[in-house]
């Protein structure tokens, strides 16, 4: 399912053409200021390539959940401002994503100009993948470039619907995402290691099932490890646990055998708070009124040793409550272990793990940091992503 089968920006002639680009500019804002521009910067290679080829560039994205109606809190205006700074040229902000005024703004633009449409989710038709809305969204573009891997698992008007009206290919970011994830799953250099964390087993059951058939080792951390520990009969005190998933966890442990590694020691706290009292205990000795919030040093050392021996690593989900400094050691230890690997392919699946490597200043030292949390999970599950499926195949 790697992109080799999908046409990319390199396979079409965009010189002097009008091009619609789906980007993922769903970035955090503080009022009218972008607080993290990682996703905007990730789209720059595609946008710059189009500018260099004298295309008229129409960008579209969603931001937040405005519930199908205009809400100034979710306007893309601050994004247009930040993108203008990054490109060193004016980005023309539209007051909507469809309609007469938008058509007029685009008609007045020429080669090398960039227009950013207002939030797609101001219209309920976007998430409903409404065909008429998709047709209007095209705005006479001759090509559609999907560079929003983070939204590729959604069958929306801007990811799938528009492809009925205009030739569709992958942008450079989309191509990179699919190449890295696709290659890791199809032809991993071994040993192949997966590290999964985050709060819930339920979010990742299908990923675990799929990866157990492919990896040499699967390391588990974060809140989801508690459910596995409880399934093994350990007392986990007040820790987050999914009691309705204990049977599933037992089945996965049976199926995983030696492959599936769990924490052997943990950091526990008397409350879920930064200033909580903490202690370090063996997993068999968690006090009844305490909760597990991070990996212990023995576990970190065991996980590090496995990481050091691996040639392909996929990491998705933090190892503890890394937002609180006392419980961030496990997550940052994994980030550093990955960063220190020479000659291995290290892939960080979006969301919190991507935030952690950014925070640790280690993103540049990973082979690939995915921009799509949910999309990369679904890809790892082996699911067909609607936004990818809709792109033109090489054979077309």
Same fold, 3-176 and 188-380: yes
- The residues annotated with a catalytic role in the active site are 39, 200, 351, 374
Cα–Cα distance for residue pair 203/214, rounded to 1 Å: 19
Q: In this prediction, what percent of the chain has a pLDDT beyond 90? A: 87
Domain borders along the chain are 3-176, 188-380
Phi/psi at 313 (nearest 5 deg)? Answer: -135, 130
CATH superfamily label, 188-380: Phosphoglycerate kinase, N-terminal domain (3.40.50.1260)
Model confidence at 51: pLDDT above 60? yes
Residue keyed to tokens 């935030």 = 355
CATH no. for 3-176 = 3.40.50.1260
* pLDDT average, residue stretch 331-358: 92
pLDDT at 119 (0 to 100): 98
More confident residue, 300 or 38: 300
Phi/psi at 55 (nearest 5 deg)? Answer: -80, 155
Enter the pTM of the model.
0.88
**Dihedral class, residue 145 (left if φ above 0, else alpha if ψ from -120 to 50, else beta):** beta
Place 4 in a pLDDT band, splitting at 50, 70 and 90: low
């Amino acid at each position: 399912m790697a992109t080799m089968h999908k046409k990319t920006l390199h396979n079409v002639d965009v010189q002097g053409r009008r091009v619609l680009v789906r980007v993922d500019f769903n970035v955090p804002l503080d009022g009218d200021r972008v607080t993290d521009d990682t996703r905007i910067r990730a789209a720059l290679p595609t946008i710059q390539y189009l500018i260099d080829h004298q295309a008229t560039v129409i960008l579209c994205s969603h931001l937040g959940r405005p519930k199908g109606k205009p809400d100034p809190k979710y306007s893309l205006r601050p994004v247009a401002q930040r993108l203008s700074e990054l490109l060193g040229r004016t980005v023309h902000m539209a007051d909507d994503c469809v309609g007469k005024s938008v058509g007029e703004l685009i008609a007045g633009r020429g080669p090398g100009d960039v227009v950013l449409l207002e939030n797609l989710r101001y219209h309920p038709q976007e998430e409903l993948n409404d065909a008429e809305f998709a047709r209007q969204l095209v705005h006479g573009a001759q090509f559609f470039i999907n560079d929003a891997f983070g939204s590729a698992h959604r069958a929306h008007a801007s990811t799938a619907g528009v492809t009925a009206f205009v030739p569709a290919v992958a942008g450079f970011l989309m191509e990179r995402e699919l190449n890295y994830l696709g290659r890791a799953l199809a032809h991993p250099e071994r040993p192949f290691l997966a590290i999964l964390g985050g709060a819930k087993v339920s979010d990742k059951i299908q990923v675990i099932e799929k990866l157990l058939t492919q990896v040499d080792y699967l390391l588990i951390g974060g809140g989801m490890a508690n459910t596995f520990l409880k399934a093994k009969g350990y007392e986990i005190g007040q820790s987050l646990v999914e009691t309705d998933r204990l049977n599933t966890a037992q089945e996965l442990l049976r199926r995983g055998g030696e492959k599936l590694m769990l924490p052997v020691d943990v950091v526990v706290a008397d409350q879920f708070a930064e200033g909580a009292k903490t202690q370090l205990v063996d997993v068999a000795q968690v006090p009844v009124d305490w909760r597990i919030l991070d990996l212990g040093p023995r576990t970190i050392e065991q996980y590090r040793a496995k990481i050091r021996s691996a040639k392909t690593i996929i990491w998705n989900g933090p190892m503890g409550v890394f937002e609180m400094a006392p419980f961030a050691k496990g997550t940052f230890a994994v980030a550093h272990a990955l960063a220190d690997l020479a000659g291995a392919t290290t892939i960080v699946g979006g969301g919190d793990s991507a935030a952690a490597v950014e925070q640790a200043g280690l993103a540049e030292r990973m082979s690939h940091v995915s921009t799509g949390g949910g999309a990369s999970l679904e890809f790892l599950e082996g699911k067909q992503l609607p936004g990818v499926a809709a792109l033109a195949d090489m054979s077309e």
